[in-house]
């Protein structure tokens, strides 16, 4: 018996586009401002939130999670974060266990701010440590020191945060596997609830891309990339961490609810310059997905601008596949069918069979997931499955 589709959980992302310094590998939308135009930014955020509530998302779903990302949200003090959260709570209800994450950088964490953030309602702190070695922090051109990184974790604990993520980067310039293992060991010794481990990616039009073109920064070979990735998984999983997504590891029950909602094809409101939103609409049992992309202009004068597009069923199915296969649990076949209009198994029977016999994919009644071997070939597998 088929059941009617229902709306997925709804999350909210707020982009804070200010940084104290531009890191040479970064292509996120952020600017370095001598005087942050806080009043104009807040006015634009408040007006955009109200617009979403009145014109785009007028159903009564509570918010599943809120995420302050950037840029450097920790540039903002607790009062400002509190003002934004107050505004949000005037417009939406927050789920009882609603996760509220704030991304922070070590140089802008201090005991007073940490206490204020917690007091304002933030219940998860994600700290951009990136490396546990002064040499590698310098090689990444980060604005903080190792001592500041260690202090930020200490302050967060002492300040009362019981849900802490550390962001780490591997395959950084001239890093060996042994050095990465030592950094992972230090990360675990701080006993965070969550670790995000991403490889350094050289993005176009960044200072690192220029260095690479001049031959001053070597591209990692595929074998090296696999070695770093495998070391990360083996080291963390043998120590009891659950690798629930390609780059994310959690203590049992401490998975990031906000990101899980993205990977499970949930909906999200995106506020702030460059933020993206996604909304599911259901009419007569037919699902459509809208994408809302914010321009980077405005915000300094209280204005903002967004562009809305309707995704085709093929696009929605492909997004579901690309996000779902990143997770250990895999992609929901039902969600894929609701979004794309077809079961992947009937759509791509030969390819699915071939990937199963090569031990790259597992298929159950509910899910399609990559095997340990398949995870290493995620991009190639996606290329084959995407329609
Ligand atoms: S702090 Fe983060 S967002 Fe800001 S420049 Fe560095 S990497 Fe980019």
- Which secondary-structure segment (H or E) carries 126? strand 124-130
CA-based diameter of the chain, in Å?
61
Question: Could you identify the residue written with the tokens 């990339």?
Answer: 225
Nearest atom (ligand 1) to Cα of 71: 3
Question: Does the residue 385 lie in any domain?
Answer: yes
Question: Residue 19 CA: which ligand 1 atom is closest?
Answer: 4
* Residues in contact with ligand 1 (CB, 6 Å cut-off): 19, 22-23, 26, 28, 30, 70-72, 105
Indicate whether 255 and 371 sit together in one domain: no
> Which ligand 1 atom minimizes the distance to the CA of 142?
6
> In angstroms, what is the span from residue 9 Cα to ligand 1's centroid?
29
Cα 218 from Cα 175, distance rounded (Å): 11
Q: Note the pLDDT tens digit of each residue in 276-322.
A: 999 999 999 899 999 999 999 888 888 889 999 999 999 999 999 99
Q: How far is the CA of 28 from the centre of ligand 1 (A)?
A: 7
Whether residue 2 is contained in a domain is answered as no
Indicate if 248 and 338 belong to the same structural domain.
no
At 189, which CATH number?
3.20.20.70
Question: For all residues of the chain together, what is the average pLDDT?
Answer: 95
Whether 263 has a pLDDT exceeding 70, the answer reads yes
pLDDT confidence tier of residue 38, bands split at 50, 70 and 90:
very high
Kindly tell me if the per-residue pLDDT of 191 is higher than 60.
Answer: yes
Pocket test of ligand 1: the residue of 15, 69, 70, 137 to mutate, having most ligand atoms within 8 Å of its CB, is 70
Q: Of 210, 234, 261, which residue is a domain's last?
A: 261
**Banded model confidence at residue 222, pLDDT cuts 50, 70, 90:** confident
CA distances from 177 to 180, 234, 249 (A): 5, 12, 19
Tally of CB atoms within 10 A around 204: 6
Total domain count, the chain: 2
Residue with CA at minimum distance from ligand 1 atom 5:
22
Question: Would you place residue 370 in the very low, low, confident or very high pLDDT band (cuts 50, 70, 90)?
Answer: very high
- Are both 148 and 26 inside the same structural domain? yes
Its domain, for residue 380, covers 330-387
Residue 87: pLDDT band with limits 50, 70, 90: very high
Let me know if 128 is exposed, middle or buried by CB neighbors in 10 A (0-12, 13-18, 19+). Answer: buried
Residues 248 and 375 in one domain: no
Among 261, 288, 317, the domain boundary falls at: 261
User: If you average pLDDT over residues 370-375, what whole number do you get?
Assistant: 96
Do the beta carbons of residue 141 and residue 24 sit within 8 Å?
Answer: yes
pLDDT of amino acid 316: 96
Best of 15, 18, 19, 20 to mutate for ligand 1, by most ligand atoms within 8 A of CB?
19
Q: 352 and 209 in one domain?
A: no
Contact (CB, 8 A) for 35 and 18: no
71 Cα–ligand 1 center, Å: 5
End residue of a domain, out of 232, 261, 290: 261
Instruction: Let me know if residue 301 belongs to a domain.
Output: no
- Given a cut of 80, whether residue 3 has pLDDT beyond it is no
pLDDT digits (tens, 9 = 90+) for 129-173: 999 999 999 999 999 999 999 999 999 999 999 999 999 999 998
Please determine, for residue 242, whether its predicted confidence score (pLDDT) is greater than 70.
yes
In a domain, 133, yes or no: yes
Protein residue with least CA distance to atom 3, ligand 1: 71
The model's pTM = 0.96
Atom of ligand 1 nearest to the CA of 26: 8
Q: What percent of the chain has pLDDT over 90?
A: 89
What is the predicted pLDDT for the residue at 188? 98
Q: What's residue 173's pLDDT?
A: 87
pLDDT of residue 1: 53
With b meaning 16 or more CB within 10 Å and e meaning fewer, what string describes 23-51?
Answer: bbbbeeebeeeeebbeeebbbbbbebbee
Q: What number does the ligand 1 atom closest to the CA of 70 have?
A: 3
Distances in Å between the Cα of 277 and the Cα atoms of 21, 268, 291, 345, 373 are 27, 5, 6, 29, 33
Tell me the per-residue pLDDT of 169-186, one tens digit each, with 9 for 90 and over: 999 988 999 999 999 999
| Pocket perturbation via mutation, ligand 1, pick of 15, 33, 71 by most ligand atoms within 8 A of CB | 71
- The residue nearest atom 7 of ligand 1, judged by CA position, is 26
Residue 287 domain-assigned?
no
Q: Is residue 312 part of a domain?
A: no
Distance from the CA of 23 to the center of ligand 1, in angstroms?
Answer: 5
Task: Calculate how far, in angstroms, residue 19's C-alpha sits from the geometric centre of ligand 1.
Answer: 6
pLDDT tens-place string over residues 153-165:
999 999 999 999 9
pLDDT at 2: 59
């Amino acid at each position: 018996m088929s059941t009617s589709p229902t709306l997925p959980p709804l999350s909210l992302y707020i982009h804070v586009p200010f940084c104290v310094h531009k890191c040479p590998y970064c292509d996120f939308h952020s600017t370095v401002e001598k005087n942050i135009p806080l009043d104009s930014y807040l006015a634009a955020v408040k007006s955009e939130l109200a617009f979403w509530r009145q014109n785009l998302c007028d159903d009564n779903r509570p918010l599943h999670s809120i995420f302050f990302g950037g840029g450097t949200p920790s540039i903002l003090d607790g009062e400002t974060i509190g003002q934004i959260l107050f505004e949000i709570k005037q417009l939406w209800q927050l789920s009882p266990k609603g996760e509220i994450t704030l991304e922070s950088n070590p140089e802008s964490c201090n005991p007073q701010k940490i206490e204020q953030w917690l007091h304002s309602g933030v219940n998860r702190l994600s700290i951009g440590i990136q490396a546990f070695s002064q040499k590698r922090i310098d090689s990444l051109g980060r604005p903080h020191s190792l001592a500041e990184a260690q202090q930020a974790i200490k302050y967060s604990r002492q300040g009362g945060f019981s849900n802490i993520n550390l962001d780490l980067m591997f395959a950084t310039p001239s890093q060996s596997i042994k050095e990465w293992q030592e950094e992972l060991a230090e990360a675990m010794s701080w006993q965070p609830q969550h670790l995000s481990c991403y490889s350094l990616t050289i993005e176009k039009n960044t200072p690192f891309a220029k260095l690479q073109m001049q031959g001053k920064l070597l591209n990692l070979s595929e074998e090296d990339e696999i070695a770093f990735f495998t070391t990360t998984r083996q080291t963390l999983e043998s120590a009891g961490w659950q690798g629930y997504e390609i780059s994310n590891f959690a203590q049992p029950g401490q998975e990031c609810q906000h990101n899980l909602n993205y990977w499970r094809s949930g909906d999200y409101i995106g506020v702030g310059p460059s933020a993206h939103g996604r909304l599911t609409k259901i009419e007569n049992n037919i699902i459509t997905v809208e994408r809302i992309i914010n321009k980077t202009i405005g915000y300094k004068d209280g204005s903002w601008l967004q562009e809305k597009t309707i995704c085709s069923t093929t696009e929605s199915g492909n997004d579901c596949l690309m996000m779902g296969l990143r997770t250990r649990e895999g992609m929901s076949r039902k969600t894929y069918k609701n979004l794309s209009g077809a079961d992947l198994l009937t759509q791509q029977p030969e390819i699915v069979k071939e990937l199963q016999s090569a031990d790259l994919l597992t298929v159950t009644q509910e899910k399609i997931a990559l095997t340990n071997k398949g995870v290493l070939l995620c991009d190639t597998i996606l290329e084959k499955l995407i329609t």
